[in-house]
């Protein structure tokens, strides 16, 4: 038997060693999920919803210990771990309130003895392969609506967030979801690959573009539903009429929250030439005000990176930007101490020849580029393979909407950034992925339609 070793990213010390799954155990779990799914789907929605309601209440009553587990394994500052758990609750409330209306059978035609109806049925057994950066959010966006709509879920948490994944499983099982209906798998990419080899009816993946394309290649020939929520290189444009203080504070938070490890982190900033100098000074002051330190400390805003390998990515982006003439204004190097630490880093004088402005950084590092006006800003915002989010800061609503309507991104922000709402669909374009979660569409996506053609007396 092999083991998954879990480390504290703040110290490098071992946290746990867990027995990992292998191809044989994954196949056995998939078979059990297949056998259990129809019974779960046959239960009335109210029964499934009652389980998820109990899960919600259990999370709400255990925020502190769950936040501590999350911080210990991913290094997320403790206040931000609490924020994630507290933020999960309204998402659960949304799904619980909306699953009925979103999946009710619709009568779309009834005339002359002919009735047409659309039914919504579960996909069956779905694979949920998840990321570590917001395990409660990105996992919950999948397994909550999937379970509510009658699917069985084979859940592969990231190897960097497995303790949290097992807490999720424990709470769901205690809340009444059968063990064979929500099934956690322990392990790294090889266990994810073993899961994809099973007969599943849908694959819902959150993670990097590199892994997403591998998964697409593996799953494509099987013709099962595939959703990929991938990375981003999200831009924000600050117009010359924006309020400097508000924009700087909002964007510093958008770039550095969760130590820059959000899929919708601000990754590129463009500032109108007339505001550039003032904005950069205000932005630097905001970032200097962030406390870097032990993620268990209440005052910490910037913690360690979760993955050690990302330190090399950030160092390479810094070296590349410096070589090509970028001005390093703050930070720029890893901290020589145990754990995965990188200084908050700000560049100005950057351009799109630099990796910093082209490749996902996923860390506390940002480039600020001066632009001559809206046309140049729009062209640069769209000069990317990704398309997750984009934002504009200006008091002028018409100007913001005019720009945002022409940006190729699934979510757009006026005077805000790094924001996700359960009521709105979350989708990426281009290399940011295919499919969506959240909103009523993000419930229906776990169902398949059945078209009913009914000749006879109108069905009441």
Q: Does 215 bind ligand NAD (CB under 6 A)?
A: yes
Q: Is 223 left (phi over 0), alpha (psi -120 to 50) or beta?
A: left
Length of the chain: 460
Please report how close the Cβ of residue 310 comes to ligand NAD at its closest, in angstroms.
8
Q: In the complex with ligand NAD, which residue's Cβ is closer, 194 or 271?
A: 194
Q: ∠ CA(88), CA(91), CA(96), 5° rounding?
A: 125
Alpha-carbon separation of residue 29 from 32, 46, 216, 224 (angstroms): 5, 26, 23, 19
Please report how close the Cβ of residue 73 comes to ligand NAD at its closest, in angstroms.
13
Question: Which one from 229, 267, 343, 360 is the annotated catalytic residue?
Answer: 229
Tell how far CA 203 is from the center of its chain: 16
Q: Does 131 bind ligand NAD (CB under 6 A)?
A: yes
Whether 360 is catalytic = no
CA-CA distance, 90 to 56, in Å (whole number)?
Answer: 9
Report the residue from 77, 139, 184, 192 that binds ligand NAD according to the rule CB under 6 A. 192
Q: In the complex with ligand NAD, which residue's Cβ is closer, 40 or 446?
A: 446
Burial annotation 224-243 (CB, 10 A radius, 16+ → b, else e): bbbbbbbbbbbbbbbbeebb
Burial annotation 317-341 (CB, 10 A radius, 16+ → b, else e): bbebbeeeebeebbbbebeeeebbb
Whether 229 is catalytic = yes
**Total site size for ligand NAD, rule CB under 6 A:** 32
Q: In the complex with ligand NAD, which residue's Cβ is closer, 98 or 211?
A: 211
Q: Does 267 bind ligand NAD (CB under 6 A)?
A: no
Q: In the complex with ligand NAD, which residue's Cβ is closer, 20 or 175?
A: 20
Please report how close the Cβ of residue 206 comes to ligand NAD at its closest, in angstroms.
5
Sequence-separated (6 or more) residues with CB below 8 Å from residue 303 = 9, 10, 71, 75, 76, 77, 259, 292, 293, 294, 295
Helix 45-61 to helix 135-148 angle (10° resolution) is 160
Q: Does 196 bind ligand NAD (CB under 6 A)?
A: yes
Please report how close the Cβ of residue 250 comes to ligand NAD at its closest, in angstroms.
20
Please report how close the Cβ of residue 273 comes to ligand NAD at its closest, in angstroms.
30
Which range touches ligand NAD (CB under 6 A), out of 12-20, 39-47, 156-164, 169-177? 156-164
Alpha-carbon separation of residue 4 from 14, 17, 281, 396 (angstroms): 11, 5, 45, 52
Please report how close the Cβ of residue 158 comes to ligand NAD at its closest, in angstroms.
4
Report the residue from 147, 163, 186, 263 that binds ligand NAD according to the rule CB under 6 A. 263
Q: In the complex with ligand NAD, which residue's Cβ is closer, 80 or 348?
A: 80
CA-CA distance, 296 to 317, in Å (whole number)?
Answer: 29
CA-CA distance, 231 to 133, in Å (whole number)?
Answer: 12
Interacting positions 228-257 with ligand NAD (CB under 6 A): 229-232
Q: Which residue is nearest to ligand NAD (CB)?
A: 192
Report the residue from 21, 159, 234, 355 that binds ligand NAD according to the rule CB under 6 A. 159
Tell me the sheet residues that pair with 207. Answer: none
Report the residue from 198, 208, 315, 382 that binds ligand NAD according to the rule CB under 6 A. 208
Q: Is the dihedral of CA 28, 216, 99, 106 positive or negative?
A: negative
Q: Does 188 bind ligand NAD (CB under 6 A)?
A: yes
Please report how close the Cβ of residue 227 comes to ligand NAD at its closest, in angstroms.
10
Q: In the complex with ligand NAD, which residue's Cβ is closer, 146 or 196?
A: 196
Question: Which one from 239, 263, 264, 417 is the annotated catalytic residue?
Answer: 263
Report the residue from 128, 211, 259, 411 that binds ligand NAD according to the rule CB under 6 A. 211
Q: In the complex with ligand NAD, which residue's Cβ is closer, 175 or 409?
A: 409
Q: Does 198 bind ligand NAD (CB under 6 A)?
A: no
Q: Is 456 left (phi over 0), alpha (psi -120 to 50) or beta?
A: left
Q: In the complex with ligand NAD, which residue's Cβ is closer, 178 or 260?
A: 260
Tell how far CA 355 is from the center of its chain: 23
Task: Looking at 289-343, list the stretches that DSSP marks H as alpha helix, in order from N- to C-terminal side.
Answer: 309-323
Interacting positions 372-411 with ligand NAD (CB under 6 A): 388
User: Which residues are at the interface with ligand NAD (CB under 6 A)?
Assistant: 129-134, 138, 156, 158-159, 188-189, 192-193, 196, 206-208, 211, 214-215, 229-232, 263, 360, 362, 388, 426, 428, 433
Residues with a known catalytic role: 229, 263
């Amino acid at each position: 038997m092999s083991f998954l070793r879990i480390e504290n990213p703040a110290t490098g010390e071992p946290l746990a060693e867990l027995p990992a799954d292998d191809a044989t155990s994954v196949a056995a779990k998939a078979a059990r999920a297949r056998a259990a799914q129809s019974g779960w789907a046959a239960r009335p929605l109210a029964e499934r919803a009652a389980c998820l309601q109990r899960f919600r209440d259990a999370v709400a009553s255990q925020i502190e210990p769950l936040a501590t587990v999350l911080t210990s394994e991913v290094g997320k500052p403790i206040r931000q771990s609490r924020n994630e758990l507290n933020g999960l609750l309204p998402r659960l409330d949304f799904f619980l309130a909306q699953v009925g209306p979103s999946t009710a059978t619709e009568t779309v035609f009834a005339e002359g003895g002919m009735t047409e109806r659309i039914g919504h049925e579960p996909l069956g057994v779905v694979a949920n392969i998840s990321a570590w950066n917001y395990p409660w959010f990105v996992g919950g966006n999948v397994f909550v609506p999937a379970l509510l709509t009658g699917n069985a879920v084979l859940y592969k948490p990231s190897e960097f967030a497995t303790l949290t994944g097992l807490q999720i499983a424990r709470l769901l099982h205690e809340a009444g979801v059968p063990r064979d209906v929500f099934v956690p798998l322990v392990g790294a990419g090889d266990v994810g690959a073993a899961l994809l080899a099973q007969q599943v009816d849908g694959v819902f993946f959150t993670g990097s573009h590199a892994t997403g394309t591998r998964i697409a290649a593996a799953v494509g020939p099987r013709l099962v539903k595939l959703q990929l929520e991938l990375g981003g290189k999200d831009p924000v444009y600050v117009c010359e009429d924006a309020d400097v203080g508000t924009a700087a504070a909002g964007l510093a938070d958008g770039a550095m929250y969760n130590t820059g490890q959000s899929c919708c982190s601000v990754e590129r900033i463009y500032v109108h030439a007339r505001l550039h100098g003032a904005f950069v000074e205000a932005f630097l002051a905001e970032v200097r005000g962030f406390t870097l330190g032990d993620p268990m400390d209440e005052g910490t805003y910037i913690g360690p990176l979760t993955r050690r390998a990302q330190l090399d990515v950030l160092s390479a982006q810094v070296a590349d930007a410096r070589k090509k003439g970028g001005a390093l204004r703050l930070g720029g190097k890893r901290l020589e101490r145990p754990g995965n630490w990188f200084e908050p880093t700000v560049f100005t004088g950057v351009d799109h020849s630099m990796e910093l402005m082209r490749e996902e950084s996923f860390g506390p590092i940002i480039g600020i580029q001066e632009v001559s006006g809206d046309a140049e800003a729009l062209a640069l915002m769209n000069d990317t393979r990704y398309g997750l989010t984009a934002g504009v800061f200006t008091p002028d609503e018409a100007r913001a909407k005019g720009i945002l309507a022409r940006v190729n991104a699934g979510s757009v922000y006026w005077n805000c950034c790094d924001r996700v709402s359960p009521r709105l669909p979350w989708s990426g374009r281009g290399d940011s992925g295919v499919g969506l979660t959240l909103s009523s569409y993000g419930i229906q996506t776990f169902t398949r339609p059945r078209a009913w053609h009914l000749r006879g007396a109108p069905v009441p």
